[in-house]
């Protein structure tokens, strides 16, 4: 369960909100996250060859997000249960947790 949906540009509609920045090939930001898509922006993205975007998934409730966060954290604790308690494993667990929760948050 993700906080975002990856949609083909043809399946997006004006009013949807970008979940993440859209970057140009050279790394410049074309559109920042949280931009509300308009007809003009969708047309511009098509001209630039962008074929899909990540938009905010409004169908997920806060309760669902909290439950998913808890599930992810429990799963990672289980996966790392045999990892020695040293700094490297701690950092790895932290990074994986932040990455996984970034998809949920």
How is the chain split into domains, by residue range?
4-56, 62-104
- pTM listed for this prediction: 0.62
Is residue 104 scored above 70 in pLDDT? no
Considering only residues 55 and 2, tell me which one the structure prediction assigns the higher pLDDT. Answer: 55
Cα dihedral across residues 58, 63, 65, 67: positive or negative: negative
Helix, strand or coil, per DSSP, at residue 8: strand
pLDDT tens-digit map of 15-31: 999 999 999 888 899 99
pLDDT of residue 59: 78
Query: Does the structural domain 4-56 have CATH classification 3.90.105.10?
Result: yes
């Amino acid at each position: 369960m993700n906080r975002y949906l990856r949609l083909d540009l043809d399946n997006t509609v004006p009013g949807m909100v970008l979940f993440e920045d859209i970057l140009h090939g050279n790394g410049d930001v074309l559109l920042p996250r949280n931009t509300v898509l308009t007809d003009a922006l969708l047309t511009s993205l098509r001209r630039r060859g962008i074929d899909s975007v990540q938009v905010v998934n409004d169908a997920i409730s806060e309760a669902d997000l909290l439950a998913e966060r808890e599930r992810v954290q429990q799963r990672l604790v289980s996966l790392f249960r045999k990892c020695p308690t040293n700094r490297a494993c701690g950092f790895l667990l932290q990074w994986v947790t932040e990455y996984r929760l970034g998809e949920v948050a």
